Structure 1
Amino acid sequence: MGRRPLEGVSAAAHPCCLICRRISPPGRTEARRPNELRTRLPGPLLLPPRGLGLHERPLLRPYIAGALWPDATEARAAGNLRCAVWRLARCGARPLEATGSHLGLSPHMSFDVRLGTELARRLRDAAPLSDTELKTDNLSFDLLPDWYEEWVILEREAFRQLRVHALESLCERFVEADTFDLAVQAGLAAVAADPLRESAHRALMAAYLAEGNPGPALRQFQTFARLLHEELGMEPSALMQTLAEGLRP
């Protein structure tokens, strides 16, 4: 399936954030609200295979051009890339650092996948986090959910596994901090990311129980047991069933 035109950059004041969204027509810049411009790109400039948005270092221009325009000649692909970079610069955000040989993201740019990945790593390492960092926002989305190229599918699954683990950890942290509403929110996000994942349902059940609500916890178990049987013909683990038995009157 061919790549679709994407909206490439949001130039909010602090910090700038990259967004990807289907748009038309390409090549047009539009003001949405104060301090924000969005530029229309002819392709996913910021997301070639393991591209700028997913990569920590600048990439060679020929590599990016070849990934975006694999059927074009080398000269045509290079010309397309120059045009795309020029269009991106017109929005005023200056999101790229460009040299004659490489392209990379500017240090002032933030990218949702990078933010989510960094948060997941810090949760995994039990690093201290501020209240503003302890949010599910950067862990509650799939990477390019309507794209089906092989590299996207692999990157999407890798990020999904990372963020589900992180959401479970976040749920546990919120329970330990007695912020049960946020714990339930994180647990629900983990379940939504992988409805057949038992550990996600257990984390959500633990959040319900911690705030003194056995009814929703039992209902969550019943929902999971039914879904697991319908989809895979399986039963919940003995651990999960033991937990549920203790909730029944």
Structure 2
Amino acid sequence: MIRVHLLGRFTIFTPAGEVVLPTAKVRLLSAYLFWQQGRWMRRALLRDMLWGEVDEERAAGNLRTALYLLRRAFDAGGVPERLLQIRRDTVRVPDGPGCRVDVREFEKKVWAGLHKDVREVEPLMAAASLYRGDFLEDLDAEWCLPERRRLADLHLAVLRTLVDRLAALGLYEGAVSYASRWLAVDPLDEAAHQALMRLYHAVGQPALVVEQYEQCRQMLEKELGISPGDATVRLLQELAPTADKGAAACPRKKVPGRGRRGLRSPSAGQSPDSFFTVKNFS
């Protein structure tokens, strides 16, 4: 079985261990072919993508060399010869049960989980475990960026949904774990801070509710020069009515020319206030 990781650091594993790819261009070529697994890719496209800055003849020679080095690395690492199919004008990594690419498994589990009953969490937990990092995070190529953003957003949707479903099931410790991961990915998202405040309230930890609010306040002040929104302040007053409201009472600052980067609502068309309700955690 060949296992390919496109989430996080790009790696190829065989029963013999990790396959060593000799150059940055060979790594990019290999990553692209596994990302496009099953599709015949035209050599002209690969030449332009990897060596667009040189003339066509030189780029064609570079591609031939890269494919030779890739084949040799595959052979040395124990990758079956059939896994790299080369024709005169096209190249591909074929589909097959002997090669598992984590991105495909991740998306399969995500969509299976999102379309299941709201009490179903196992497929989404499996998807979250597959997300080891951003798509090809160690490779620097323009073609990676749109897919990197798309998969990162999908990962956030998984975390938010898991928090929602686990909380509704009364599995608060698990919900806290995924909410913490959500916050680590997007520390400026007030909805993540609000989710943790509600969860700490649900498990009877008012001090942690206040601590989470203070973390939110400090983060927004440091990074954006603003205070928490009215919804977050109201939530603190609701969940920890005896807390010191000195910081919470400060008016929200307006900073000209500065947006609130990374702030996402729990889902399209849903406000942070409606994402969690106190009754869900009681």
- Bucket of the pairwise TM-score, normalised by the shorter protein: 0.7 to 0.9
Question: Which of residues 226, 233, 242 is equivalent to 1:234?
Answer: 226
1:127-174 superposed Cα distances (whole Å, 9 cap, x missing partner): 685637524322352223354433333332222222112211111122
Moved more, 219-228 or 115-124: 115-124
Residue 90 of structure 1 aligns with which residue? 76
Residue 258 of structure 2 aligns with which residue? none
Contact 1:168 1:203 in 2 (8 A): no
- What is the total number of aligned residue pairs between the two structures? 228
Question: Which of residues 233, 239, 250 is equivalent to 1:247?
Answer: 239
Amino acid at match of 2:106: G
The 5 A counterparts of 1:187-198 are 187-198=179-190
CA 1:53/1:187 → structure 2, altered by over 3 Å: closer, same or farther? farther
Residue 200 of structure 1 aligns with which residue? 192
The 5 A counterparts of 1:1-249 are 13=1, 16-18=3-5, 21=9, 35-41=15-21, 42-43=23-24, 45=26, 47=28, 51-55=32-36, 57-62=38-43, 63-70=45-52, 71=54, 72-94=58-80, 96-100=83-87, 101-108=90-97, 109-126=99-116, 131=122, 134-135=125-126, 136-248=128-240, 249=242
Contact 1:144 1:152 in 2 (8 A): yes
Contact 2:217 2:228 in 1 (8 A): yes
Contact 1:172 1:183 in 2 (8 A): yes
Instruction: Tell me which of the two structures has the higher relative contact order, counting C-alpha pairs closer than 8 angstroms and 6 or more residues apart.
Output: 2
Report the CA distance between 1:218 and its aligned residue. 2.6
CA distance in 1, matches of 2:198, 2:37: 36
TM-score by length of 1: 0.73
Report the CA distance between 1:22 and its aligned residue. 8.3
1:191-227 superposed Cα distances (whole Å, 9 cap, x missing partner): 1111111222223333333333333233222211211
3-state SS, counterpart of residue 144 of structure 1: coil
Q: Higher helix fraction: Structure 1 or Structure 2? A: 2
Runs of 5+ unmatched residues, structure 1: 1-12, 24-28
CA 1:231/1:215 → structure 2, altered by over 3 Å: closer, same or farther? same
Report the CA distance between 1:89 and its aligned residue. 3.7
CA distance in 1, matches of 2:193, 2:84: 43
Q: Higher strand fraction: Structure 1 or Structure 2? A: 1
**Structure 1 residue runs of 4+, over 4 Å off?**
19-23, 44-50, 126-130
Contact 2:19 2:77 in 1 (8 A): yes
3-state SS, counterpart of residue 134 of structure 1: helix
Contact 1:66 1:74 in 2 (8 A): no
1:45-100 superposed Cα distances (whole Å, 9 cap, x missing partner): 56559933433641414133543344442133133223313422432243835252
Larger Rg: 2
Amino acid at match of 2:96: P
Moved more, 226-235 or 82-91: 82-91
Amino acid at match of 2:100: S
CA distance in 2, matches of 1:30, 1:121: 26
Amino acid at match of 2:152: R
Contact 1:171 1:204 in 2 (8 A): no
Amino acid at match of 1:116: F
CA distance in 2, matches of 1:182, 1:45: 41
CA 1:98/1:213 → structure 2, altered by over 3 Å: closer, same or farther? farther
CA 1:106/1:127 → structure 2, altered by over 3 Å: closer, same or farther? farther
3-state SS, counterpart of residue 52 of structure 1: helix
